A and B are shown apart, each in its own frame.
Chain A
Amino acid sequence: MEPVKINDLACNDLPWKIAYDPERCTLCGSCIAACTFDAIGPRMERRRMIYSDSETPDPKTLFSARPVIDQQNVLKNYCRGCGVCERVCPNSAISALRNPDSRFQVVHQCATGTAPKRGGRNNLEVQSRTLDTLRVGRISQMTDPSLDAQRHTFDCLAPLGRILPAKSLPLQLNAEGQLTQGGSTPPVRWIYPVIIGDMSIGALSWRMWEAIAMAVAYLNEECGLPVRMCSGEGGMPVRLLKSRHLKYMILQIASGHFGWNRIIQAMPHMVEDPAGVLIKIGQGAKPGDGGLLMAAKVAEHIQAIRGVPKTDLLSPPNHQGLYSIEESVQKMFLSFNAAFKFRVPVAIKVAASATSVSVFNNLVRDPYNIVGGFFLDGIDGGTGAAHDISLDHTGHPSVSKLRDCYLAAVAQGRQGQIPLWAAGGLGKTGNLAADAFKMICLGANGVFSGKLILQMAGCLGNDLGRCNACNTGLCPAGITTQEPVLARRLDPERVAENIVNYFLGMDMDLRKLMAPIGNSALPVGRSDCLVSTDKAVADRLQVQHVC
């Protein structure tokens, strides 16, 4: 009998257990080849068979060695439950099952002295979402007709850029009594109310990034939807910086300033201005945690784009050298406004937090009028690498905070001056149009979304702990990897097509929600058309409670 070595790692300590049926397996090896995590491998098993070959029982024992597929009980190679083995197995011989008795958190930390990391997903709070308790409850009838989603024209655009109060506009009456514009106003772009969120070319595979860029160009040029995409921190290919497609891109700068040397060098060669600049101060999924691109993902082309050697790339949690809002407004925002000669809106992205309203108030009152957008990111967003503890135990949902910011603006009569853009798990249930519409009614000008775009590309992960390996560079779907072999799993044209189709469907869905409330322009702040079946939500968001 084997001694019990209770302190050795066993497969039933891990979050996923492999179910394998040797009867069905033909040992083709597909699953092993496909598993990017090396979580399964071949092994020999000793088998004993008792048989009798005479007419009366005459038990004999036959020992044989048989090759099987087996789960690795190695921490580094634990199974992520991505299900790729099951997808590729021609005989349905293998699958991964969730292990409800997993001891992973504890054994990982005990064995390595570090807590587990994972790709950004909020796996702890998966209960019902606030947005799902809200419905569009004010339906136009009789007194104000609802519109026809197919027939009427809709004006579904949202501003990005600082908007001046009417009294500060440089408009004067001329001698003929007509209004003429005497000076300039801050740049404002009217764009589609859903921005493809900031996922960097280092976090994503170049093929995935290219697929999104292709989809964005197609949506703009063939479908008439002015969708914008945010680069994420880390710059972008110089060829794109110098192309006319730059106008569809929002350039992001974060605390690591990665890629900005290239961007600055490319400036004299730019033929178009970018759609905007987004200064990332924080992100919702791991507020205060900074960014981390593991050396494993810093492939040669990433080194070129970012201008760095192959090493772990850390973005500090905050912008070193900025200690106050006043300072950041004056130094950072002003310098980026100036860099593009005040032709490009400069916005800020922050994590939803108990202090969001104070930050927003400070920005909306800034005397220079240079902050052109407030991007509020909530707990459910994010795809990057983070420690489990950050993902599971820090953060703030964005719905109530977005509402608070909007109401703070209303109280000061400053609604709309800094457009509000919200994110954080929007579209998590698959319907981004509904989430976007509800956020808009609560006061957002528009929303941004990243994780859902990954789902469109075939991401196998979910918020129940499945896969979540975006940080490893071993993405089984070729989405968040820089390994050429893995990246090739992704077909950029198919992904671009999926994204385009999704956006077209979403656009129709948005009209389907605007039509019944009788609006042809986005109902920003029209909380009167929302109702909630949850009294606490209704009270918190100041919408009607219904039952």
Chain B
Amino acid sequence: MCRIGALKSRHYLHPSKALLLMQSQQKGHDNSGFAMVMQDLGGRFADYKKLPTLSLACTDKGLEITRELLRATGFRRVQEWQPEVNPIPGLDIQALANYAFQTFDYPESYRHATDREKEDLLTDTRLALRAALEPGEEGFVYSFWPDVITLKEIGDPRAIGTYFNLWQEDEEFTAKLITAQCRQNTNYEIVRYAAHPFFMQGYTALANGENTFYQKNKEFQSNLHRGYIGFESDSQCFLYTLHYLHRELGWPLSTYKHVITPLPFEDAVKRPDHEQLLVMRQSLAHLEINGPNTIIGVLPDNTLFTCCDAKKLRPVVVGRDADTVAISSEVCGINEVLPERDWEADIYPNEREIVIINDTLEVQRWNQ
């Protein structure tokens, strides 16, 4: 079973904090992988907030394919960082030859393009790159977006931390928002793409649980957007639904809960907005999740939120101190990173609410 966590802070945090958050929950996962998405970047990426960064794990040939494809599309590289690795013998990690985080400037022809056009270009480029790297498994491209970095690997999270030097705090590799998860061994095949957090166009989602409506979600989503592909994990569906509602339909976040876990009919009819609830439920019946799940999500404005299924079958806790909010499957994770906090103020979200942490770190609880 997955364990998931998120940290959002006023200050830049080093990923060692995320490792710490997840480390104490290791009995709940199986130490089979580590994945994280860092957003609102500091350190060496702080000066490039408007430019897209590519997060890539690949073979040498993959690096070559990538360079060629991006060059042909017109992207101009402005920075590259390859983390220094510690290939100590005996480490439990299935490392690839290259891990590259490259920041690019948009093609010249996009100088006057709208944000939306640029965003579409980034997505199309990522999808093209993914397709180009797929034959022979030459590489994995996790995100290509401004101010976002993704790192995923198969192995023991501690070993992965050691391999990438993540235990060593520094000022150069930091972010104000980090989401992380420690399990690679999904119900299906072990594939790097199957590890959450999943990221798409500013949206991040990670989940603990089982999506029993996976097949319905997948069949429906496959037709909604060219970027809704992969489905290596049933939790990817949560990201696509979030993206579809918030970005494609332009609906507010509050509707997410209504779509994935609609109120029972008998409760919905008592509400003044029941007509609206009903049309949403009808039209998006195939996006309901109906299983045991807790979801952590991030919106493009770096709003962090969490919610769970309609029966609260998977746990999640939100804790905070003055500068940092932590979300975690188990409270022990928060105890590690925020030991001094007022734990009485911890929130255990119920089955009908979304807990939202906005960019000023204000915590709101929205009832469905």
Contact = CB atoms under 8 A, between A and B. Distances in A.
Interface of A: 140, 143-145, 147, 152-153, 155, 157, 159, 163-167, 169, 171, 173, 177-181, 185, 188, 190, 410, 412-413, 415-416, 517-521, 523-528
B212 A169 contact: no
Contacts of A518: 210, 212, 290-292
A410 B280 CA distance: 19
19 contacts: A147-B311, A165-B283, A166-B244, A166-B283, A173-B251, A181-B275, A413-B222, A413-B223, A415-B220, A416-B282, A416-B283, A416-B285, A520-B311, A521-B262, A524-B285, A525-B216, A525-B219, A525-B286, A527-B215
A173 B213 contact: no
Contacts of B212: 140, 144, 517-519, 526
A523 B216 CA distance: 9
B273 to A, nearest CB: 8
B65 interface: no
B265 A190 contact: yes
A171 B219 contact: no
Given A188-B278, A416-B286, A167 B291 contact: no
Contacts of A523: 213, 216
B216 A177 contact: no
B82 interface: no
A517 B216 CA distance: 14
B80 to A, nearest CB: 39
Interface of A is mostly: loop
Given A169-B283, A410-B223, A521-B290, 6 more contacts: A173-B252, A179-B254, A179-B255, A413-B223, A517-B212, A524-B285
B219 A410 contact: yes
A528 B209 CA distance: 18
Interface of B: 1, 187, 209-210, 212-216, 219-220, 222-224, 244, 248-252, 254-255, 262, 264-265, 275-276, 278-280, 282-286, 288, 290-292, 310-311, 313
A413 B279 contact: no
Contact of A173 (B214, B250, B284, B286): B250
B9 to A, nearest CB: 26
A140 B187 CA distance: 13
Contacts of B291: 144, 518-519
A159 B280 CA distance: 13
Contacts of B254: 178-179
Contacts of B265: 155, 157, 190
Given A178-B252, A518-B291, A526 B282 contact: no
A159 B285 CA distance: 10
Contact of B1 (A143, A178, A188, A190): A143
Given A413-B223, A413-B224, A527-B215, A177 B252 contact: yes
B249 A166 contact: yes
Nearest to A147: B311
B283 A412 contact: no
A144 B216 contact: no
Contacts of A166: 244, 249, 280, 283-284
A496 B251 CA distance: 47
Nearest to A156: B265
4 closest A-B pairs by CB: A413-B223, A144-B210, A166-B283, A528-B215
Contacts of A525: 215-216, 219, 286
A144 B290 CA distance: 10
A159 B292 contact: no
A185 B281 CA distance: 13
A190 B310 contact: no
Contacts of B216: 523-526
Contacts of B276: 171, 179-181
Given A171-B279, A181-B279, A415 B292 contact: no
Contacts of B224: 413
Contacts of A524: 216, 285-286
Given A144-B210, A159-B282, A517-B212, A152 B250 contact: no
Contact of A179 (B222, B251, B311): B251
A361 B311 CA distance: 37
Contact of A188 (B255, B282, B284): B282
Given A165-B283, A413-B223, A144 B251 contact: no
B361 to A, nearest CB: 20
A157 B249 CA distance: 26
Contacts of A190: 265, 278
A520 B310 contact: yes
Contacts of B209: 144
A415 B219 contact: yes
B352 to A, nearest CB: 13
Contacts of B213: 519, 523, 526
Contacts of B223: 410, 412-413
Contacts of B252: 173, 177-179
A377 to B, nearest CB: 24
B251 A521 contact: no
Contacts of B262: 155, 521
Contacts of A527: 215
A145 B313 contact: yes
